Amino acid sequence: MKKTFARLIINLLVSDWLQSLGFMMSYYWIVKGKIVEGTWCNVQGAIINLGDVASGFWATSICLHTFFSVIKGYEPRNYLEISMAIIWPLNVFISLIGFVIQNRLHGNSYSFYGSAGGSWCWINQEFNEYRVILHYGIVTILASIMIFLYGWMLLVIHRQQQEIAVIKFEETRKILQKTRKKFIYYPVVYLVLVLPLALERYLAISGITLPFTYLIVAGCIFASAGTVNAAIYGFTRNLVSINSFLVFLKIGEEKG
């Protein structure tokens, strides 16, 4: 189970990396001074959408794996292989189908990927309904699934902890609590980090425009998912400790 879980985390980190790579491509627009539709914009838009949605799928996959392993007490056979066979091809399809939609519906009138608030390229506002179909709707469904499953799991875990406490197996209860919390961090992080940007997008669809600064901050928060997930993995696997991290910061300050 540990190997499967670690490999699920790796796939989540790859999704986070793609998302960050897409946002880093905006340095090109900073140098250029403006966003121009074309090859670079198309690549950035496709990569950002791929990373965003894939992160949601992998967070949900981790949630399902946690549900089966912790609550049901077993790991589905070939879970990792099945997840990879479904999630990656599906997300590549979701990100590339926009070019087919563009050619069939609008020809060369509008590019499917264009400026998203003047800071990076994403699905053009002319294709607003596909922002819901290919991103918002998917993320909302995945988030709802995770919230439902985690609500269920927390209730079951709480009940089990109470039962263990009754028979005074305090040490066993602590181990159970510590082990199960490790599995919960990643999808919760996804839900928290995606919320600010998702809120901005839903308000934009409703005709409410938030300040440009909010969009930038929300994008930075979402793009930090890879760093946060890597930190969680390091701390929960004892690869990094608080003390060693503080020592590292202290050495850096002394060198500076």
Phi/psi of residue 237, nearest 5 degrees: -95, 10
Is pLDDT above 70 for 43? yes
DSSP 3-state of 183: helix
| CA-wise closest residue to 55 among 78, 88, 86, 82 | 88
Structure token digits, residue 168:
């005074």
When mean pLDDT is compared across 108-112, 130-134, 180-184, 188-192, the lowest value belongs to: 180-184
Cα separation, 42 vs 115, whole angstroms: 10
More confident residue, 130 or 230: 130
More confident residue, 36 or 74: 36
Whose tokens are 């967070």? That residue is 59
What was the pLDDT predicted at 20? 87
When mean pLDDT is compared across 52-61, 127-136, 191-200, the lowest value belongs to: 191-200
Is pLDDT above 50 for 220? yes
In one letter, which amino acid is 175?
Answer: I
- Ordered by start, the domain boundaries in the chain are 2-255
For residues 12, 13, 17, 19, the Cα torsion angle rounded to the nearest 10 degrees is: 30
User: Considering the chain, what is the average pLDDT of its residues?
Assistant: 79
Cα separation, 245 vs 53, whole angstroms: 32
Cα separation, 184 vs 247, whole angstroms: 28
Q: For residue 105, count other CB atoms closer than 10 A to its CB.
A: 13
When mean pLDDT is compared across 80-84, 122-126, 208-212, the lowest value belongs to: 208-212
State the maximum Cα–Cα separation within the chain, in Å, rounded to a whole number. Answer: 70
- 138, 53 contact by CB (below 8 A): yes
Is pLDDT above 60 for 111? yes
Is pLDDT above 70 for 29? yes
When mean pLDDT is compared across 52-66, 86-100, 163-177, 184-198, the lowest value belongs to: 163-177
| CA-wise closest residue to 186 among 50, 9, 6, 2 | 9
**Tell me: the pLDDT tens digits for 122-156?**
998 888 888 888 988 898 899 889 888 888 877 87
Q: Which CATH number fits domain 2-255: 2.10.50.10, 1.20.1070.10, 1.10.3720.10, 1.10.287.70?
A: 1.20.1070.10
Burial 225-242 (b: 16+ CB within 10 A, else e): bbebbbebbeebeeebee
